[in-house]
Chains A and B, each alone.
Chain A
Amino acid sequence: MSIRDEINRCLKDRELYLLSPAISSLSVVRTLLVSEEVQRFVMGPWDNVNDEFRGSQLRQFLDQFTEGKKITISEEPYKKPNTTYMAPIDPVEDRVFDIRNRDKPAVRVLGAFAERDVFVALIWDYRVNLGGPDSKEWRDFRERCKAEWRKRFFMYEPLSGVNRNELATNIILV
């Protein structure tokens, strides 16, 4: 068994979905696997136009990852430009990363790298619901992500990304 086998099992059992770009002719360089929670938000069905608008914006943001566009990844959880695409979550030993979509209202998507260029996006929330860096909400958010990872990949740790260049191609370290 390998983590690839587990990913295929998750896809078969619908514990994960492959999020391919909305525009089917786009090149695909990286792979994004999403939970049903994330899939529902970015693909609908939505019950109002606000969610449709915000979910579609996020879909495009995630497609930038899949399409292999240049993305910024920070070395540290806190010292980073506001505009960073992806950042590790404190503590970095947890190997959880945050996709940071700053369109309003800002959204955070948490997940981890299964291997280079393969990110598993597991949970999301509006940034405003998460409070400050030391808040209980952020801690619960991070712990929920770790629990979702363990549910699917109990035997496997995410990539550590100590060297960020090992996480993905075409990145800018910030």
Chain B
Amino acid sequence: MNLQQTSFLSEVISGEPIPLGQRAYFRERFKSNLYELIINLFLEKEDAGEITRAELARRIDKRPEQITRLLGASGNLRLSTVSDLLLGLGCEPDVSALRLADSRRNYIAPEWINAEHYTSHPVLSSEPTKVRSTTPDTAGAYVNGLTAEAATP
């Protein structure tokens, strides 16, 4: 199977079936956005002397080291944990959805980078490269596992 990326959002915007890679990308982004929301809130309150990791842990019945781990990266967050952490910070999420079709291209590089060198995505050989892997079976289990997890976050 040869999965060549063209315009990253074309399937999303056109209503075509969305490839697994794009879904994986946006799942990861969703987790990252939630993480950013929580860590920014926590740091703001910590800087203001309103809360510590230990106090947050006590408030939501977790151990301090669990809070350290949860605040360390987006990968550890479940929706229930997100809710607990926000509540422990005295907040709840204000959820909204952005229409990707309305997005506009932004600045993409510092001015000292010569624009001629990046204006189009590089055309690499269209021959798929077998990337190194653990074993295909193992990797497949991860994909399936994550797919199932994402369906029931």
Q: Cα distance A12–B19 when bound, in Å?
A: 31
Cβ–Cβ < 8 Å partners of A12 in chain B: 114, 116-117
Is B106's CB under 8 angstroms from A27's CB? yes
A28 to chain B, nearest CB (A): 5
- Which residues in chain A, 38-65, are within 8 Å of chain B measured between CB atoms? 39-41, 43-57, 59-61, 63-64
Please determine whether B124 and A82 come into contact, CB atoms closer than 8 angstroms.
Answer: no
A162 interface hit (Cβ, 8 Å)? no
Contact B76 A48 (CB under 8 A): no
- Say whether B122 contacts A82, CB under 8 Å: no
> Which residue of chain A lies nearest to B128 when distances are taken between CB atoms in the complex?
A47
When the two chains form their complex, are residues B21 and A55 in contact, meaning their CB atoms are under 8 A apart?
Answer: yes
Q: Chain B contacts of A135 at CB under 8 A?
A: none
Are B28 and A57 closer than 8 Å at their CB atoms?
Answer: yes
Cα distance, A25 to B106, chains bound together (Å): 5
Contacting residues, chain A, for B105 (C-beta < 8 A): 24-25
Determine which of A24, A52, A59, A82 lies in contact with B69 in the assembled complex, contact meaning CB atoms within 8 Å. Answer: A82
Pick the residue among A20, A27, A45, A125 that contacts B132 (CB under 8 A).
Answer: A125
- Shortest C-beta distance, A72 to chain B (Å), equals 6
Q: Which residues of chain B come closer than 8 Å to A27, judged between CB atoms? A: 106-107
**Per-residue contact bits, chain A 70-104, to B (CB 8 Å; 1 contact, 0 not):** 10100000000111110000000000000000111
Task: Give the residue among A21, A49, A126 with the most B Cβ atoms within 10 A.
Answer: A49
The interface residues of chain A lying within 8 Å CB-to-CB of B39 are 70, 172
Contacts of A72 in B (CB 8 A): 72-73
Given A45-B5, A52-B21, A105-B139, residue A84 in contact with residue B106 (CB < 8 A): no
**Nearest CB on B from A17, distance (A):** 5
Chain B residue nearest to A26 (CB atoms) is B106
B152 contacts the other chain (CB 8 A): no
Assuming A51-B139, A56-B22, is B118 touching A22 (CB within 8 A)?
Answer: no
Do the beta carbons of A24 and B108 come within 8 Å of each other?
yes
Determine if A45 and B3 form an interchain contact, defined as CB atoms under 8 angstroms apart. Answer: yes
Question: Which B residues are in CB contact (< 8 Å) with A129?
Answer: 132, 134
Query: Do A45 and B131 contact each other (CB < 8 Å), given the known contacts A57-B24, A83-B75?
Result: no
**B32–A69 CB distance below 8 A:** yes
Task: Enumerate chain A interface residues (CB-CB to B < 8 A).
Answer: 4, 7-8, 11-12, 14, 17-18, 20-28, 31, 36, 39-41, 43-57, 59-61, 63-64, 69-70, 72, 81-85, 102-105, 118, 125-126, 128-129, 172, 174
B interface, CB within 8 angstroms of A: 1-5, 8-9, 19-22, 24-29, 32, 36, 39-40, 43, 68-69, 72-76, 100, 103-110, 112-114, 116-118, 121-122, 124, 126-134, 136, 138-140, 142-143, 145-146
Given contacts A8-B112, A39-B124, A129-B132, list 13 more A-B pairs with CB under 8 A.
Answer: A12-B114, A12-B116, A17-B122, A18-B109, A41-B131, A49-B1, A54-B143, A61-B28, A70-B36, A81-B68, A83-B72, A84-B73, A126-B133
